[in-house]
Structure 1
Amino acid sequence: MLRVTLVDDFALKPLRAPHDEDFHDLIALSRQPTSESVQRFLRDALRVIRAATDISGDVNQALFWYRNEPLPVFDYKTAEQLVSDGRTDDLLRYVSSLEAGGAG
């Protein structure tokens, strides 16, 4: 049931090839690879992307969702914004609830 929900959500916008500007933030982060806040952000981002990939079955869809899909339950912020705001655990609970058929 969750797989259908996330796949439907991902299908709202077409996937496109990544561009250099898509990696601007990651390039900037890579300049301070030992910074604890950078490492925490990267770990949290990977946790969320992995959870979304497990549900959707497609890493490209999961990445697109993470960067672009506004989430109504979180005041239309994207998953990436929520991770930046330190709300990774809330986001992972939401993704888990989708998997269980709750929120989606």
Structure 2
Amino acid sequence: MLAAFLDDIRDHDMIAPRRMADRLRLPMARLARLAHVNRNTMAAKPESPAVQAKLGEIARIIARAAELSGDEGKAIIWFRHQPIAGFGKTAEELVEAGEAAAVLWTLETMDQGVYA
């Protein structure tokens, strides 16, 4: 599952912002806000280390959620719409707020059997 998602959003050796936006069903401007990257920079220099690092963070969250749920579609719905217990915000909102590490931590605790 992880490999399929990553293969779908990659263009050679980099994460392609347009492909990721399409998979997440987000406009490019919204993906840029989530990644904390200027949308023009993301479009003009998608290979930049800063863009790739931020998109990689989002990709890891989606891939990990897909591993836990067994379905990429469910993972995307969870990311975008399901508030996380204890935070009162969705994973998407937390990532936008710069809290991607908290989302990854939540996914790890869920994997260890803690209900969220």
TM-score bracket for this pair, using the shorter chain length = 0.5 to 0.7
Q: Match for residue 41 of structure 1?
A: 54
Q: Which structure has more RCO (C-alpha within 8 Å, separation ≥ 6)?
A: 1
Q: Match for residue 26 of structure 2?
A: 23
C-alpha offsets along residues 25-60 of structure 1, whole Å, 9 cap, x if unaligned?
248575242455533331111010011001001000
Q: TM-score, normalised by structure 2?
A: 0.59
Matched, 1:79 2:91: yes
Is the strand fraction higher in 1 or 2? 2
- 4+ residue runs of structure 1 moved beyond 3 angstroms? 26-30, 34-38
Q: TM-score, normalised by structure 1?
A: 0.65
For these two proteins, the number of residue pairs brought into alignment is 83
Q: What stretches of structure 1 of length at least 5 have no aligned partner?
A: 1-18
Query: Identity of counterpart residues, as a percentage?
Result: 31
C-alpha offsets along residues 52-78 of structure 1, whole Å, 9 cap, x if unaligned?
00100100000111111111311x211
Q: What stretches of structure 2 of length at least 5 have no aligned partner?
A: 1-21, 33-38
Task: State the superposition RMSD in angstroms.
Answer: 2.4
2:80 to 56, 59, 67: 67
